[in-house]
Amino acid sequence: MTIINVASFAAGDWIAPDQGARDIASAVTGDVIAQAGGTLDYQHMLDHARNVGGPNLRKLGFHDRAKMLKALALHLTEHKQALYDLSFNTGATQADHGFDIDGGIGTLFVYASKGRRELPDGQVLIDGPVEPFGRTGSFVGQHVLTPLQGVAVHINAYNFPVWGMLEKLAPTLLAGVPAIVKPATATCYVTEHCVKLMLDAGILPEGALQFIAGGTGDLLDRLTCQDVVSFTGSADTALKLRSNPKILANATRFTAEADSLNASILGPDVTPDQPEFDLFVKEVVREITTKAGQKCTAIRRILAPEARVADVIEALEARLSKTVIGDPANPDTRMGALVSTDQRADVLARVATLASEAERVIGNPDDFEVQGADATKGAFLPPMVFHCADPDSATRVHDTEAFGPVSTILPYRDVDHAVALANRGQGSLVLSLISHDADVARDVVMGAGAYHGRVYINDRTSMKESTGHGAPMPHMIHGGPGRAGGGEELGGMRGVTHFMQRTAVQGSPDMIQAIIGQHVPGATPKAAPAHPFTRSFTALEIGETITTGPREVTLEDIAHFADFTGDTFYAHMDAEAAKRNPFFPDRVAHGYLLLSFAAGLFVEPNEGPVLANTGLDGLRFMKPVVAGSEIHVTLTVKRKTRRTAEYGEVRWHVTILDGEDDKVAEYELLTMNAY
């Protein structure tokens, strides 16, 4: 058998393992299949990331980085079979690959899409509205986010060698920060191949990605306030890394996503003949067997009403007894091996701890069948379920995690008791509730939300589209308080801002506008050389403004609009009734009539670069308009965003004013304009 020499990629060079390399065994056969580790110049790696990778990424805008992520995702999709083939040696089945490899690639796609939709077409991210400090508006403030000028060090666990890397890498690169990736050594050969695929594609700028196979040496001792450490693994290791004196002294950002005692609650309303009962059992079985239970989100505690415990045990035994354990490359295998024999020994030690407070009711580690592999050489274990009859007096079932195919059933009396038991895990990544009772769902969220990073609720209504208890989605945060690490990852754009610095910028509207690339009210208007609807996307400038002529609003206009639309609200039709309303001085014009008149004032009717009106945002009515009043409009180019090779989106700031120049209404108009 050819031994894979897992190399590190440092400062642009691949560096083979040296005499200090560690052997890596197949989880299935126990044979040595790879070697990894050696001496690296960590300062040179950091310098390369900070001085080459960072500047190269920061030169790109958010949309360019998003396109880069999409290109990476497409490239990995074309080559994922090679990753599948390697991953079988980690003990993962083809179904497990869907969580790890396909899930990781899917995360790249999500961040690429959300980056194009939700981030500006520039390099500065705006956080919140402009804050005026005076009456005239000549001095204002704006919160902005810019990329950190250091490096993100990603330290990942062994259970997800691809997803674990890509779920951190996607928001990091989108933020404009280079990364040094350090996977767990036991499965680093899979991560290395994924890194090679990405680097060989020529998509990433130089210095954006480096890779460590083996230990981190004194890398963490060299970090600064501009760097970030993102860690996934055990709570004990997270504490050790977080306590590094340099990290503490420099206030280096550190986020941890740690293994936790996640729980699932069967609602008190659920009976065995309801669809929620079967759903609950399926969820538990999936979490016990997927990745052989080696998931940070796996269900470790099964909370069932006292009257339903026997039913749950019977249903779980019926399903788990059909689980085919064996060679993960065999299509018939339902559950593969743990990652290593060392991990199997660790699980068995923790199982012995659980057995001091709970009875094993399903599975026997000394007597189970393995198909297509040798159970003594590979890291195999059967699914095991324990029953703790007295969870109130127990302690170890609430603080001991066997990181494998192991879970414990705990009976509860009522919803408050279930919540209290769930919270005894002292912080988890996810709590699930299977119930069709909305009141139960609310009580669980209110009682347990503070202890859990995610609350997953499922029933007959959502079961067909639900993603599963143990599947963190890129759109939602992944993390949790206390034992779960106290950090957050993913969460859509929340994950991006973790790698950026929020800064309060103060100055004149003109200064703020120049910095953020977006129109700021009060900035010096730019006179449009022609009607802006006749100018292409490229020609339009931020701040370009026109002011229309006036239009009188008549009583006949109001009556006609009411008759035409059917909107005969009393304030538009009955002068005496309107006067009794503290908001209206008399019979007033419809707000949407004013919007229609505004469009008539600023729209250029002839064919031109404006292709479509796609909506309006932030509409506010500030002052009523009575018959006989005049209105006029200012139209300003607020923001421009490239969308395709043919057109981009223009966001216009529209203000409707009356004859006294008081604001009647304002909103943002969106149009698609040809280049």
CA distance 592 to 169: 46
In the numeric block, the tokens 């280079």 are attached to: 178
Task: Write out the two tokens for 378.
Answer: 């590979």
CA distance 149 to 147: 6
**What amino acid occupies position 206?**
E
Q: Would strands 500-507 and 487-490 be described as parallel, antiparallel, or unpaired?
A: unpaired
Q: Would strands 253-258 and 228-233 be described as parallel, antiparallel, or unpaired?
A: parallel
CA distance 380 to 58: 47
Give the chain's length. 675
In a 3-state reduction of DSSP, which class is residue 597?
helix
CA distance 243 to 93: 37
Task: Write out the two tokens for 67.
Answer: 């396109």
CA distance 332 to 328: 9
Q: Would strands 140-147 and 125-132 be described as parallel, antiparallel, or unpaired?
A: antiparallel
Phi (first) and psi of residue 178, to 5 degrees: -75, 160
The DSSP call for residue 451 is G
In a 3-state reduction of DSSP, which class is residue 611?
strand
CA distance 652 to 673: 12
Q: Is 660 assigned a catalytic role? A: no
Rg from Cα positions in the chain? 30
| Annotated catalytic residue within 296, 388, 401, 489 | 296
539: number of Cβ within 10 Å: 14
Phi (first) and psi of residue 192, to 5 degrees: -60, -45
Q: Is 646 assigned a catalytic role? A: no
The DSSP call for residue 646 is S
Task: Write out the two tokens for 82.
Answer: 């090679």
Q: Which residues contact 495 (CB under 8 A, 6 or more apart)?
A: 111, 170, 171, 474, 477, 488, 489
Task: Write out the two tokens for 128.
Answer: 């919140």
CA distance 498 to 477: 12
**Cross-strand bridge partners of residue 502:** 145
Q: Which residues contact 371 (CB under 8 A, 6 or more apart)?
A: 324, 325, 326, 327, 330, 332, 333
Question: b/e string for 226-253 if b means 16 or more Cβ within 10 A?
Answer: bbbbbbbbbbebbeebbebeebeeeebb
| Annotated catalytic residue within 167, 257, 488, 649 | 257
- Active centre residues (catalytic): 257, 296
